[in-house]
Amino acid sequence: MNVSRMIATALVCLLVVTGCSHKASPVPIEGLKLVKDDLRQFEIKVPTNWYTQQRKGDLVVATTGRAIGSRFMSFGKGEGGAKVELRVIPIDSTNPSLDTMIKRSKVEFEDGLDRYQLSQATLGGKPAKKLAVKFDQADGEFQLETYFAENDSLVTIVTIAAFGKTYEDYQKEFSEILASVKIAQRPVVVAKSDTATQTGPEPPSETMRSYNAPNFSIEIPENFEGKKGQSSGLSSMSFLGSRFDCTIQVDVFDASKQNDLNKIVEQNKGRYQGASPSGTNVDGQKAYYFNYNPAANVAARAYFTVKGNKMFRITLNWFKPEQSVYLPIFERSIGTVKLKQLRQNYTP
């Protein structure tokens, strides 16, 4: 199994453009708060007014809004936004070294060029490596810096990133956030798993509820909510619970000029880390799906199918250590999808 990537490769190839002059309005940072982990003892400051999630032992992530989290997974079209993230990944047979994690953290561009700059840095008082990249998107420049530091065979990875040419607006706070980091260490006593479960995110409900949209219907876990997604297509809906990295997203595209599913799948193959498509069906329609890894410890699956003049892409993301909890329920949701056809000139 391939190690998870820190940045989604899906869709990036189409979105890299040149000469982009757009700029989004940044979400102000109203203050910083220190977040501590009592299992692996790491620390980081995050904006007090941003949407923040913490998973005991390996994750703190803050984004300018809840919905923007999915954009960092797919790089789809959307409004500007920013992210601060600290992840802890043990060095093991799947993740054999810090250098391997760096190599596999890079976006793959359509032209094959490596746009990254790798340099020496410090993080939490320890020697570190910094991976930096900038590239233009339709709504403005995307900029990212990721820092990697090793301690006790644990790699602490801190990422600061922003869409819409807003990175410089946060420069002062980003510097303070980086200075606040305390990197992870092995716990003296491992916390009991039942304690972690009690304090962790709520799992998806096994009870399902129906959601109807103009182009489709689907049954989702009862404790999930639907939000407008970010996509360049006709419409997009994202369904999520208490974890931003465990989602179902349905994107609908105009297929009036190209509705050959085999050609569509072949055109999209390069965006999913070179994965081979697997055949299946959605609502009785011929379909294909790709399995890929959009982020560290996150797995994903993207389904493609066509009905009439619409192409449907359904994307599942789930936290890999809890695959047995999320994937069966997500697959149940896929089995409930009903595809609708509207008039040719429908605009959501």
Q: Among 137, 15, 141, 27, which Cα is nearest to 82's?
A: 27
Q: Which two tokens stand for residue 255?
A: 């297929």
**Dihedrals φ, ψ of 174, to 5°?**
-60, -40
In this prediction, residue 156 has a pLDDT band, given cuts at 50, 70 and 90, of very high
pLDDT category, 342, cuts 50, 70, 90? low
Please state, as a whole number, how many other Cβ atoms lie within 10 Å of the Cβ of residue 206: 11
Q: In sequence order, which residues have a C-beta less than 8 Å from that of residue 117 and are 6 or more positions away?
A: 131, 132, 133
Closest residue by Cα to residue 229 from 259, 253, 205, 206: 253
CB atoms within 10 A of CB 186: 13
**Whole-number Å distance between alpha carbons of 187 and 58:** 12
Distance separating alpha carbons of residues 105 and 107, to the nearest angstrom: 7
Residue 310 pLDDT greater than 70, yes or no = yes
Q: How many CB atoms lie within 10 A of CB 96?
A: 11
Residue 6 pLDDT > 80: no
Query: Please, are residues 161 and 144 in contact by the beta-carbon 8 Å criterion?
Result: yes
Whether the Cβ atoms of residue 182 and residue 166 lie closer than 8 Å to each other: no
pLDDT score of 231: 65
- Which residue has tokens 């070179």? 274
Residue 141 tokens read as 């420049």
Q: Kindly report which listed range (17-26, 242-251, 297-306) carries the lowest average pLDDT score.
A: 17-26
pLDDT in tens, 102-153: 887 877 666 667 889 999 999 999 999 999 999 887 778 899 999 999 999 9
Average pLDDT of every residue of the chain:
83
pLDDT band with cut points at 50, 70 and 90 for residue 228: confident
- SS3 at position 269: helix
pLDDT score at 196: 39
**What are the DSSP E strand ranges found in 124-190?**
126-137, 140-151, 154-162
pTM: 0.60
**DSSP H helical ranges for 18-93:** 68-74
Rounded to an integer, what distance in angstroms lies between the CA atom of residue 26 and that of residue 99?
Answer: 33
Closest CA to 137 of 65, 63, 76: 76
Tell me the domains of the chain and their CATH numbers. 12-199 (3.40.1000.10), 208-339 (3.40.1000.10)
Please, how many CA atoms are within 13 Å of residue 166, restricted to the half-sphere of its CB? Answer: 21
